[in-house]
Amino acid sequence: MSEQVDAAGGYRRASPWPVFVALGFALSELGIFVGLYPVAVGGLLLLAGSVAGILRESDYATDVWRPLAGLGVAFAVLGIAVVGTQVDPTTLDVLAVVSDPGGIVGRGLAIAGAGVILLVVGLVGYLLE
Amino acid sequence: MAGQQLALTVLMGLVLVGVAALLTRIEDWRRYTALAGGAVAVGEESGYGHREKPSGVIRWLTTVDHKDIGILYGVFALISLAVGGLMVMVMRFELLTPASDVISPQLYNAFLTSHGITMLFLFGTPIIAAFGNYFIPLLIGADDMAFPRINAIAFWLLPPGALLIWGGFLIPGIAPSQTSWTMYTPLSVEQAHLGADLMLLGLHLTGVSATMGAINFIVTIFTERGEDVNWANLDIFSWTMLTQSGIILFAFPLLGSAIVMLLLDRNLGTLFYAVGEGGGTILWQHLFWFFGHPEVYILVLPPMGLVSYILPRFAGRKLFGFKFVVYSTLAIGVLSFGVWAHHMFSTGIDPRLRASFMAVSLAIAVPSAVKTFNWITTMWNGRIKLAAPMLFCIGFVSNFIIGGVTGVFLASIPVDLVLHDTYYVVGHFHYIIMGAIAFAVFAGIYYWFPIFTGKMYQRTLAKWHFWLSMIGTNVTFFAMLLLGYMEMPRRYASYEFDPAVAPLDAITLLHQAATVGAVILLIGQIIFVWNVVQSWLEAPTLTDEDPWDLKNDGLFTREFGWNADRLALPDGGEEEAMADGGEAEADQ
């Protein structure tokens, strides 16, 4: 398969990314479900960074910035959707739930927060190059 | 609280900085900037060596080579086997006497839970992946797995999964999960232990890992076969791995979803399994066993493949009825999804449903019996060589017959209603899991030992290992079958009986027999570990390319051919410096 073959025609037999993809996935899951928000945000950043890295390494992406920003958008949308489930549909009072985040809202904000950080990093990286 | 959050935030920041620092050491970041700047030709190699593996720990952390990943899976699985085995030894000592006087009932319950999860998800599935990763590409003539990096991700999900599953024991101050491996609701929803959440998360990670691995095996076997390997001459082990991967693809995502729903019920107030709400408690059992029974075949099909592959080579004949062994594998793969409610005969589900599940459960015995008769017929009038792999294969067949026949009785509703939740069930499935699956694993390890170590194991120790395992298994688990007939219920740390039901002395004696059997098993496994470690480290390098004398019978196979090519290399087979283990160089 083309993705395995490097420019010299040999097979890549080592990659630093898989272990961090797995660690990022584990940390984000742990953080989100147990409610450890810093772990959730850090885990998502590690996951997205490693996914971007592995996509770049295997030539599925031409740089790391666009995958980072893309994952950032996805996480942000997901996080906002999670927060949205807790907003009262009659008043649409977003401030009320966000200013006092409990269980579900806190988790949604953590996901969205990680998404925003990734989006900013992706955009800045893309623009600076 | 705020202080804790701050500390966690700082800790996570340090982890991320540490990861970034580590990556700068092993990956050349300039590659990306140079590419984006367009100043350097596209595809220029990064500073990190790809044609050769790095050395030391970094090699094992970064490898995407199927053979290395196979060894990682194997080491991980055997460590898990030791952990799960030591847990159950403590439980067996607890059961020596009727009173709960060795460990507390709570700790017993925690060990019970963790033993089951560890053996099924951290030993069983990974050890099969170990064989699959190392040998499937060699058997089908592929350069590597189809997705080497996904392969590595699948493995690296396991260690964090294991730490989470054992988290209740490892983290001071939190109680480990006591839900049993079946995690039945409402117990698993209401049990407040953080250890249960961690275990569920760990289990979810192992499920994701298994699914990624299965996708990889399916794609590899479909698309990466060598030119001379077609569906007609695909080996039996690859067939069973393919079928198993297909089952995983349908079963594990369902377990993942069910676990996420359970986690949501526990932490976020949903009511998927709440009593009287949503699906109710029985929904969990349906979802869990829709995964859980195929899981049995996920665990047993590749070991059956190993036995079908190895046994003929020590009988001097080809596998009898090869086609029918393949057909029966596929039949089991399909039927395995139609039997789940036989775990639920005593829950009060509709009797008409029960009858249909009984019918399918009895029917699935047919393809299993086809295989058994084929193994026996392969040995019939063969030139049997009783080397350690063959001993374990014969042990497999023998234990599988006892485990299988006891299972046929359990498939029958009236018998099940009597024996449900007794030690009979425990004895039945341990005959399969320890007596059959673990035996096939040992057969595989001994058979391919010359390939993955380049050495030969110590034959006398291997035979001690076999006989102690065979005797230990039968003493332990036959005693359990008898305990079941005497209505000893499962999952209890202590026991006492009304003399009108069963004599306590007899029950105690059988428990003591089971414990003695477990000790025999433990001694056997210590010998196994000693044998593997010492032989790997100290045995002389094996130069015989056909250590099992397969060529004489025309049973020499592709993976030993690959090994022979490796041995024939002028540099003595040092694989580190070669493209893909030496095939390329050997051909040049």
Give tens-digit pLDDT for B89-108: 999 999 999 999 999 999 99
- The per-residue pLDDT for B28 is 55
Look at residue B17 and give its three-state secondary structure: helix
Least reliable range by pLDDT among A22-36, B317-331, B352-366, B562-576: B562-576
Q: Between chains, do B64 and A18 touch, taking CB under 8 Å as contact?
A: yes
Confidence of residue B52 (pLDDT cuts 50, 70, 90): low
Which position has the token pair 């700047």? B37
Q: Between chains, do A22 and B157 touch, taking CB under 8 Å as contact?
A: yes
Separation in Å, CA A91 to CA A80, A95, A99, B223, B477: 17, 11, 15, 56, 64
Mean per-residue pLDDT, B208-237: 96
- A21 vs B contacts (CB less than 8 Å): 153, 156
- What are B399's strand-pairing partners? none
- The per-residue pLDDT for A12 is 61
Nearest to B201 among A20, A30, A53 (CB): A30
Q: Between chains, do A12 and B50 touch, taking CB under 8 Å as contact?
A: yes
Look up the ipTM and state it. 0.90
First to last CA, chain A: 31
- B35 vs A contacts (CB less than 8 Å): 62-63
Residue B574: Cβ-neighbour burial (10 angstroms; 0-12, 13-18, 19+): exposed
Bond from prior residue into B137 cis (ω within 30 degrees of 0): no
Give residue B13's Cα distance to chain centre: 36
- Greatest Cα pair distance, chain A, in angstroms, is 62
Q: Between chains, do A34 and B19 touch, taking CB under 8 Å as contact?
A: no
Q: Does A102 touch chain B (CB under 8 A)?
A: no
- The per-residue pLDDT for B587 is 38
Q: Which residue of B has its CA nearest to A21?
A: B153
Nearest to B12 among A3, A7, A39 (CB): A39
Q: Between chains, do A54 and B15 touch, taking CB under 8 Å as contact?
A: no
B343–chain A nearest CA distance, Å: 30
Distance CA B390, CA B314 (A): 6
B32–chain A nearest CA distance, Å: 7
Q: Between chains, do A13 and B143 touch, taking CB under 8 Å as contact?
A: no
Least reliable range by pLDDT among B163-167, B378-382, B431-435, B564-568: B564-568
Distance CA A107, CA A120 (A): 20
- A20 vs B contacts (CB less than 8 Å): 19, 23
Q: Between chains, do B32 and A56 touch, taking CB under 8 Å as contact?
A: yes
Query: What confidence tens digit (pLDDT) does each residue in A38-92 have?
Result: 999 999 999 999 999 999 988 899 999 999 999 999 999 999 999 988 888 787 7
Interface test with A, best of B5, B149, B206 (most A CBs within 10 A): B149
Q: Between chains, do B33 and A16 touch, taking CB under 8 Å as contact?
A: no
- A14 vs B contacts (CB less than 8 Å): 48-50, 53-54, 59, 62-65
> Domains of chain B by range and CATH?
66-556 (1.20.210.10), 560-588 (no CATH)
A91–chain B nearest CA distance, Å: 23
Assess whether pLDDT exceeds 90 at residue B20: no
Q: Does A105 touch chain B (CB under 8 A)?
A: no
Interface test with B, best of A19, A34, A55 (most B CBs within 10 A): A19
- A37 vs B contacts (CB less than 8 Å): 5
Distance CA B2, CA B221 (A): 52
Q: Does A4 touch chain B (CB under 8 A)?
A: yes
Distance CA B456, CA B547 (A): 9
* Residue ranges of A 17-56 with Cβ closer than 8 A to chain B: 17-23, 25-27, 29-30, 33-39, 41-43, 45-46, 53-54, 56
Look at residue A64 and give its three-state secondary structure: coil
Assess whether pLDDT exceeds 50 at residue A6: no
B457–chain A nearest CA distance, Å: 29
Q: Which residue of B has its CA nearest to A3?
A: B147
Q: Does A85 touch chain B (CB under 8 A)?
A: no
Assess whether pLDDT exceeds 80 at residue B314: yes
Nearest to A14 among B33, B62, B263 (CB): B62
A63–chain B nearest CA distance, Å: 7
- A86 vs B contacts (CB less than 8 Å): none
Closest C-alpha to B576, from B59, B31, B25: B59
Q: Does A106 touch chain B (CB under 8 A)?
A: no
B116–chain A nearest CA distance, Å: 22
- B19 vs A contacts (CB less than 8 Å): 20, 23, 46
- The per-residue pLDDT for B27 is 61
High-pLDDT (> 70) share of chain B, %: 92
What region, left, alpha or beta, does residue B492 occupy, with left being phi > 0 and alpha being psi -120 to 50 degrees? beta
- B224 vs A contacts (CB less than 8 Å): 1
- B27 vs A contacts (CB less than 8 Å): 16, 53
Q: Between chains, do A16 and B37 touch, taking CB under 8 Å as contact?
A: no
Q: Kindly state the tokens that stand for B195.
A: 């250890």
What region, left, alpha or beta, does residue B582 occupy, with left being phi > 0 and alpha being psi -120 to 50 degrees? left
High-pLDDT (> 90) share of chain B, %: 82
Confidence of residue B571 (pLDDT cuts 50, 70, 90): low
Q: Between chains, do A63 and B43 touch, taking CB under 8 Å as contact?
A: no
First to last CA, chain B: 66
Closest C-alpha to B144, from B80, B90, B217, B196: B217
Q: Between chains, do B156 and A18 touch, taking CB under 8 Å as contact?
A: yes
Closest C-alpha to B119, from B529, B438, B423, B427: B438
Assess whether pLDDT exceeds 90 at residue B425: yes
Query: What confidence tens digit (pLDDT) does each residue in B455-512 have?
Result: 999 999 999 999 999 999 999 999 999 999 999 999 999 999 988 888 999 999 999 9
Q: Between chains, do B36 and A29 touch, taking CB under 8 Å as contact?
A: no
Which position has the token pair 């275990």? B199
Separation in Å, CA B515 to CA B95, B114, B249, B344, B510: 8, 19, 38, 29, 9
Closest C-alpha to B156, from B198, B107, B191, B205: B205
Nearest to A38 among B8, B62, B156 (CB): B8
Distance CA B452, CA B15 (A): 35
Task: For residue B314, give the H/E element and its range.
Answer: none
Q: Between chains, do B152 and A10 touch, taking CB under 8 Å as contact?
A: no
- B53 vs A contacts (CB less than 8 Å): 13-14
Contact B244, B298 (CB under 8 A): yes
